[in-house]
Structure 1
Amino acid sequence: MRDTVYMLVFDGFADWQAALALCEIRRPGDWRVCTVGLTLAPVMSMGGLAVQPALALAGLDVDRAAMLIVPGGHLWQRGEGEPVVAVLRRLHAAGAVVAGIDSGVLALARASLLDHCRHTGNWPGHIAGRAPSYAGADQYDADVLAVSDGGTITASHLGSVEFAREVIRTLDLYSPAEREDWYRLFKHAQPPWMAGAAAAA
């Protein structure tokens, strides 16, 4: 039963990038959110939050995994995190969605999960410059801040709202109309009643 969304945490992870997505995942109460670390050792986020992982990467339950969220952080810029790359391949092969934002996209590229699907990132050339095995440059879409395709979600460091929207859509949270209302509210500070008023005018 795929009922768990795993959130990767590590020293220096960008804590704000998945915050909106995580809040919406937990809101309906149908999904379990679980933090996973490289080990069980406490970590410190980029924003200074001390986080105790609920489990270590080795204990991640592939059968329960609906999604693994990989936030950005200097770990990926340094070329580290190889154990995560191996788990991403295993999860994706098992049918779970893997979602990377900012430099977390590099982990998906190193797992060769972006070679044959539409994806995005921080800027053209960013992935190829830091993931030597990456062969998906022709699939890169520079015109979007986030995109879902082929069991992956990728997003720019500027696209945390768009990233959340893709996560919400992928997990089928809310109706399509409610998802659009949510996006207008958080992206454009436009409450649903304002959208209705504007359409009426």
Structure 2
Amino acid sequence: MSTIYLYVLDGLADWEWGYLIAELNSERFFKNNAPQVSIKMVGSSKEPVKTMGGLTIVPDCLIDDMVVNETNSLLLPGADTWNDSEHAAIIEKAAEFLDLGAMVGAICGATSALSNFGLLDARPHTSNGPGFLEMVSPGYKGQPFYVVQPAVADNNLITASSTGGLLWAKQIIEYLDVFQEDTLEAWYNYFSTGEADYFYRLMESLPTR
């Protein structure tokens, strides 16, 4: 059993992590004998947070309760409050995860928090467009490694722009190895195009339970 920690903070962008968490929680398209995953909402305190969409989330655990090891993962969603100093502790944890070879996924504003700590200076990554990280992170030095794509997977670091949530989800699901390859391709193609043929391919790809 691996634990996937989703950091929750005020103002987090609901749409950016919706595809991913829905599939990991429901397990509806998981392959047979998929690795078991558990999702925990982690916060800087146990106080409820309010998402950008107005939803209230109560953290399951605190940052100090997290178990940092090679099989667990950390997800950092976008939000308009990443500049608050209270979030420094979770970025320090992100550095620990990366150093161990464990997966860290960061999207939208969370990429600026990583760049502020120098965690994007020497690894392929993306964000909300060329120039964005320079604008929000004065010490950013990762320009040579910036990739103009909705989402970029560099081994155990997976980053995305605010519009890259679906591809980000695909890359994380692939990293976690919980879907069959044909299921994942059909799933991504269906939700990215809306073409009915991919829906039927998705259904046909599912293993017999």
Answer whether TM exceeds 0.5 for this pair: yes
Q: 1:122 aligns with which of 128, 141, 152?
A: 128
**2:146 is the alignment partner of 1:140:** yes
**2:191 is the alignment partner of 1:186:** yes
Q: Is the CA contact (8 Å cut-off) linking 1:85 and 1:110 kept in structure 2?
A: no
In structure 1, how many angstroms separate the alpha carbons of the residues matched to 2:59 and 2:179?
A: 29
**2:150 is the alignment partner of 1:151:** no
The equivalences for 1:42-81 within 5 A come to: 42-63=48-69, 66-76=72-82, 81=87
Give % identity.
30
Q: Is the CA contact (8 Å cut-off) linking 1:153 and 1:163 kept in structure 2?
A: yes
> Higher RCO, 1 or 2 (CA under 8 Å, sep at least 6)?
2
Aligned to 1:15: 14
**2:167 is the alignment partner of 1:162:** yes
In structure 2, how many angstroms separate the alpha carbons of the residues matched to 1:85 and 1:105?
A: 10
What does the per-residue CA deviation read over 1:20-54, in whole Å, with 9 as the maximum and x for residues that have no partner?
Answer: 11122221482100000011111111111111100
What does the per-residue CA deviation read over 1:137-196, in whole Å, with 9 as the maximum and x for residues that have no partner?
Answer: 111111x10010042111110111111111111111212221110111111012445787
Q: Which runs of 5+ in 1 are unaligned?
A: 197-201
Q: Name the count of aligned residue pairs.
A: 194
In structure 2, how many angstroms separate the alpha carbons of the residues matched to 1:110 and 1:75?
A: 14
Amino acid at match of 1:52: V
Query: What TM-score do the two structures reach when normalised by structure 2?
Result: 0.85
Aligned to 1:5: 4
Q: Is the CA contact (8 Å cut-off) linking 1:44 and 1:51 kept in structure 2?
A: yes
In structure 2, how many angstroms separate the alpha carbons of the residues matched to 1:60 and 1:191?
A: 41
SS for the counterpart of 1:167 is helix
Query: What TM-score do the two structures reach when normalised by structure 1?
Result: 0.88
What does the per-residue CA deviation read over 1:105-150, in whole Å, with 9 as the maximum and x for residues that have no partner?
Answer: 11222232212221111010111222233221111111x1001004
Query: Which ranges of 4 or more aligned residues in structure 1 deviate by more than 4 Å?
Result: 77-80, 192-196
SS for the counterpart of 1:17 is helix
Q: Is the CA contact (8 Å cut-off) linking 1:37 and 1:57 kept in structure 2?
A: yes
- Cα 1:192–1:5 shift into 2, 3 Å: farther
Aligned to 1:97: 103
In structure 1, how many angstroms separate the alpha carbons of the residues matched to 2:57 and 2:172?
A: 22
Q: 2:44 aligns with which of 35, 38, 47?
A: 38
RMSD: 2.1
Q: Which runs of 5+ in 2 are unaligned?
A: 202-209
- Cα 1:179–1:193 shift into 2, 3 Å: closer
